[in-house]
Structure 1
Amino acid sequence: MAYRHWCGECGYKTGWLSESQSEEQQIEHYAKQHPGIPPGGSVEVNRKDPDSLGCLPVLGILFLLLILAASCQR
């Protein structure tokens, strides 16, 4: 999944990154732009992540089990 952190002090937002990378960028932003203020704001989760396989692996396993079950019935 991809994450984007929003600054709680200004309109800055990170790009869509892994959770740790996005958090790291937010911490760097606060250190440069808002020194002395602990990082805050909000986190947005991209549920339409193009790298996600969704339910495809589950469907593949079910299909293989169906083929296995059909081949065992003779």
Structure 2
Amino acid sequence: MSATVHTKTWPTYTPEQTRVTHPFHPLETPPPLRSRSKLHEHFTAPPPVARTLNRKPVDVTIHETADPEGGRRPDATPG
């Protein structure tokens, strides 16, 4: 069984009136999607360029050790 739901078939699993929110949206809190057509529009449209989130690492520090396990002994008791 696949975890992927294709946009041509997933609307059959969604009621015509619904309420879908994105509480952890990184850029803003968008209004809820309240219909099957709004869901379809949301998940099939390309993201607006101005709202695309681009992340890159900054201030990366690498701590090198002689131990390839990162200082953890194989016989150490998990804590």
Specify if TM > 0.5: no
Q: Which structure: greater helix fraction?
A: 1
TM superposition score normalised by structure 1: 0.26
Q: Which structure: greater strand fraction?
A: 1
